[in-house]
Structure 1
Amino acid sequence: GIVCTSTNAPVILDWAFAQREKVLFFPDQHLGRWTGFNKGIPLDEMVVWDPDLEYGGLTAEQIRKARILLWKGHCSVHQMFQPAHILKFRNQHPDGKVISHPESALEVCRQSDFVGSTEYIIKVVKESAPGTRWLVGTELNLVNRLAEEVKHEGKIVQFMAPTVCMCSTMQRIDPQHLAWTLENLAEGNVVNRITVPAHEAALAKVALERMLAVS
Structure 2
Amino acid sequence: MNDASVTQRITDIRRARGESLAILAHHYQRDAVVAHADILGDSLELSRKVAGLSARDIVFCGVFFMAETAAMLAGPGQRVHIPAPDAACVMSEMAPAALVERVLTRLAAAGRDVLPLTYVNSSAAVKAVVGARGGSVCTSANAGKMLEWALDQGRGVLFLPDKMLGQNTCNALGVPVEKRCILDVRGGGERLDLAAAASAEVLFWPGQCVIHARFKARDIAAVRAAHPGVKVVVHPECAPETVQAADAAGSTSFIIKYVAEAPAGAEIVIGTEINLVSRLARRYQGEKTIRPLCVSGCSNMAKGTEENLLALLETLDTAAPVTVPEDVRGPATAAVAKMLEVSAR
Q: Do the structures match in fold with TM over 0.5? A: yes
2:264 and 2:293 mapped to 1: Cα distance?
A: 20
| Cα deviation code 1:71-117 (max 9, x no counterpart) | 11111110010011000011111110000100000001111111111
* Equivalent residue, structure 2, for 1:189: 318
AA of the residue aligned to 2:305: D
- 57 and 110 in structure 1: CA distance in 2 versus 1, 3 angstrom threshold: farther
Give the alignment partner of residue 166 of structure 1, picking from 263, 272, 297.
Answer: 297
User: Which one is further off, 30-39 or 56-65?
Assistant: 56-65
- Look up the match of 2:181: 47
Distance of 1:122 and 1:56 partners within structure 2: 42
Query: What amino acid maps onto 1:210 in structure 2?
Result: K
Cα deviation for residue 53 of structure 1 reads: 3.7
The residue type paired with residue 264 of structure 2 is: P
Q: Which amino acid aligns with 1:97?
A: K
The Cα shift of 1:36 comes to 0.8
Deviation at 1:127, TM superposition (A): 1.4
Aligned runs of 1:147-162 on 2, under 5 Å? 147-153=281-287, 155-161=288-294
Identical-residue share of aligned pairs (%):
38
Structure 2: unaligned runs, 5 residues or longer: 1-134
Give distance in 2, aligned partners of 1:147 and 1:115.
Answer: 18
- Contact conserved, 1:6 with 1:102, CA < 8 A, in 2? yes
Amino acid in structure 2 at the alignment position of 1:81: F
Gaps of 5+ in 1: none
Q: 1:49·1:72 contact (CA, 8 Å) conserved in 2?
A: yes
Counterpart contact for 1:22–1:67, Cα < 8 Å: yes
For these two proteins, the number of residue pairs brought into alignment is 209
Q: What SS does the corresponding residue of 2:324 show, helix, strand or coil?
A: coil
Contact 1:49 1:56 survives alignment (8 Å): no
Please state whether the residue corresponding to 1:168 is helix, strand or coil.
coil
Q: Which residue of 2 aligns with 1:120?
A: 254
Q: Counterpart of 2:201 in structure 1: which amino acid? A: R
CA distance in 2, matches of 1:89, 1:57: 40
Cα-to-partner distance string for 1:114-173 (whole Å, 9 max, x where unaligned) = 1111001011111111111111010011000110001131x1111112xx4321221111
Question: Which of 326, 336, 344 matches 1:208?
Answer: 336
Q: Return structure 1 stretches of 4+ with deviation > 3 angstroms.
A: 53-58
SS of 1:109 mapped into structure 2: helix
Partner residue in 2 for 1:87? 221
TM-score scaled by length of structure 2: 0.58
What TM-score comes out, normalization by structure 1 length? 0.92
Determine if contact 1:28/1:74 at 8 Å carries over to the other structure: yes
1:142 maps to 2:276: yes
CA RMSD of the aligned region, Å? Answer: 1.5
Give the stretch that moved more between structures: 72-81 or 14-23: 14-23
Query: Which stretch shows the higher mean deviation, 85-94 or 165-174?
Result: 165-174
The separation in 1 between residues aligned to 2:249 and 2:136, in whole angstroms, is: 23
Residue 55 of structure 1: how far off its partner (Å) = 4.8
